[in-house]
Amino acid sequence: MDHRATRVAIIGGGLGGLTAAIALMKIAGAEVTVFEQARKLAEVGAGVGIAPNGQRGLDRLGLLDEVKLAGAPWDGPGVNLSTDGRPVAEVAWSDSAGRYQSFGIHRADFIDVLRRSIPSDAVRLGHRLASIHALDSSVRLEFENGVNAEFDAVVGADGVHSLVRDSIVQPSAPIYSGSIAYRGVLDASLLPEDWPMRSQVWMGGGKHFMCYPLRQRKLFNYVGFVPSDRPLKESWSAEGDVSELAAEFGGEEWDPRLREFIKLIDKTFWWGLYDREPLANWSRGRVTLLGDAAHTMLPYVGQGVNQAIEDSVSLAIFLREAEGPEGIIDAFKRYTTARLQRTAIMQASSRRSGSQLDSQAEYEDIKKRDADVRAGRDFRRSFFYDYDAAAVAEKTLMRSRNARRALFA
């Protein structure tokens, strides 16, 4: 019997792809190679929130302490504010047990932590995928630089414009949300000494603004979400106009503290906000998807990266049980089944949360909006934050083993 490690190619060296590489090596014992089209592993300056459900996955991989050290703890729950700065509701920031509390981290710092956990020879930079071909017992990859390689399995972690996804399902057009985001980071030393070290979100008519600390509280991440009829390409790197951002939140109805924050910003980037309808399937044969490639979602509930972490741990646990080429196919099917419904609900929740934060048509009654924001806190804690992707995968495998035993008893 062939006991060699399963050879897995991961297409995409972003947060999802690198987390998946670590999970597959540590949990499944796989031999992993990450192919990234860029010449270096990097992220344009912006932050992400690591929620309790994502932290649970990082803890399973032995990465949480290092990620937290590179991030910034919050002094307490985040808060949603009215346009003029009146507190509306505290936001759930911990799981029900109080073991994990949300925190922020710069994307570049997160990449650095992940990169240190992966052998340098396992990452191939400057490799843009050209085509993917399923063979009898392997998958052949062809890259634009002329490199060809075969693997037992392929994971597409290549983001919203995933070429791997297009090899599995019929391509579908991204859906423009009607909004763009201005985002970037601010030197925290410029802020007043009493500036809250936690997440804050100002909610307004058709737009909202959020900020939270990063990098051991030396930086503040900010994002201004505004309506726009000029949809931008989904991008992290299109430079924006700071004066336009300031004008969007410059009216007298906006909290003076927020306006002073924006005056301190000297550089910003545009980001077009798109998602896609949930996919009916993520896997075909020995090829599967992960992260944004599988479930592109709007950022309003801060779950994009956290769902990629869940994907990574779940995938690795299912692949751990695979024996031979057919075992890989079964593992990918189980992984897809385990993840489809949860991520589809997350996609829908992100859309709904955007409507709340922007006080869109269904929330012309501000009291109703505020009540819904407050009511959503317990749901977020129980459904989002208490979820344990590893436990769900292990339980699924246990049920499968018990069913087989009963069948042959």
Q: Which of 186, 170, 202 is nearest to 81 (CA)?
A: 202
Coil, helix or strand at residue 135: coil
Coil, helix or strand at residue 116: helix
Q: What type of residue is 213?
A: P
Give per-residue burial for 140-178: e unless 16+ CB within 10 Å, then b: ebebeeeeebebbbbbbbbbbebbbbebbeeeeebebbe
296 touches 174 (CB < 8 A) = yes
Q: Does 274 qualify as catalytic in the annotation?
A: no
Q: Which of 212, 274, 335, 387 is catalytic?
A: 212
CA distances 204 to 94, 224, 225, 227, Å, are 26, 11, 10, 11
Strand order in the sheet with 129-134: 129-134, 139-143, 148-151
d(CA 103, CA 337): 30
d(CA 352, CA 333): 29
Q: Helix and strand tally (H, E) in the chain?
A: 12, 19
Beta-carbon-side half-sphere exposure of residue 1 (alpha carbons within 13 Å):
5
d(CA 197, CA 227): 28
Active site residues per annotation: 212
